Amino acid sequence: MGADQSAFSQPLTPQSNDPICATEPRFCLPHTVQLRLREKLWSFSGDDFKITDASNAEIVYFQCHGKVFSLRDKKVLRDNMGVPVLNMKEQLISFTDKFRVYAGEGSDREICKFNSRLTFLKAKLVSHFNDVVTGRPRVVTLKGDWREKRCAIYLGEPKHGGIPIAKIFRPLTGRSLMFGVNDYIVEIAAGVDIALAVIMCIALDEHSRDGD
C-alpha cells in the first residue's frame, strides 16, 4: 500500500500540449477539473450517476444511466445536454477485456477496452486506444486500492515510468453511511479526456461491486 499511497500523492501532469483524447476533443479541457460522481438514490438499475463540478453541483458535466434489466452489462454516458457520448458494456463471460466502450448509445464503433484485474486490495484497469486527434496509440492505466477507492490514472504503465494524469477517491459522506451509495471525486489534469476518466471510475465501481 505504501507505493500506491505515495503515487496517489503525486501532482498530476498537465497534457495541454499533447492532449489525450479517446472520445471527443471537447472533453479535453485546458485546465484541471475536479468532478463529483454522485450515485443516484433509488435508481432502477442501481448504478446511475450524476457527474457535476465537485464544488458546484449546479454545473453538470455528464449523466450516466444503467440499462434496467440488463444484468448491469450496459452504461450510457450522456453530456450535459443529454447527448450520448459513449456506452460501456460489461463482458460477463470474459476474463480479460472486462469492459468494452463504444461511441454514442447504439454504435458499434469501439473506443477502447478495459483489461481489468481485481484482487483483495488492489485494482487495475488498463486501456489501449488510438487517440482520435493524433491517431497515436495510447495506454492508460488505473491502479490503486479498490476497497478504499483511492486510485490514480496514469499515462502509460506506472512501473515503467507512467505519469499520473487523474486521481479518484471516495469521500465519506452521510449518504454513503446511511444509504450505502458510492460517491466519487475525480481530479483530472488539463488536456486529459474527462469522459474517459469518468467511465474508468464507473468501471472501477462496477468491478468492485462484482468483487464484494
What's residue 212's pLDDT?
47
CA distance 41 to 205: 15
Matching residue, cell 440488463: 70
CA distance 51 to 104: 17
> How far is it, in rounded angstroms, from Cα 172 to Cα 4?
20
The pTM (predicted TM-score) of the whole model is 0.87
| Cell (9 digits) for 101 | 466502450
139: closest CA among 156, 164, 152, 153? 156
Asked if residues 170 and 204 have their Cβ atoms less than 8 Å apart, the reply is: no
Report the C-alpha gap between 70 and 60 in whole angstroms.
26
Which H/E stretch holds residue 196?
helix 194-211
Predicted pLDDT at 66: 77
Domains of the chain as residue ranges with CATH: 2-211 (2.40.160.200)
Where the chain has pLDDT below 70, the residues are: 1-8, 40-47, 67-73, 92-97, 118-121, 146-149, 172-181, 207-212
Q: Which amino acid is at 58?
A: E
Amino acid 187 reads E
**3-state helix/strand/coil string of 174-187:** HHHHHHCCCEEEEE
Number of H helices, E strands in the chain: 3, 12
pLDDT for 98 equals: 77
pLDDT of residue 96: 58
Residue 97 is predicted with a pLDDT of 58
pLDDT tens sequence across 125-181:
999 999 999 999 999 999 988 666 689 999 999 889 999 999 998 876 555 545 455
As a whole number of angstroms, the distance between CA 129 and CA 21 comes to 9
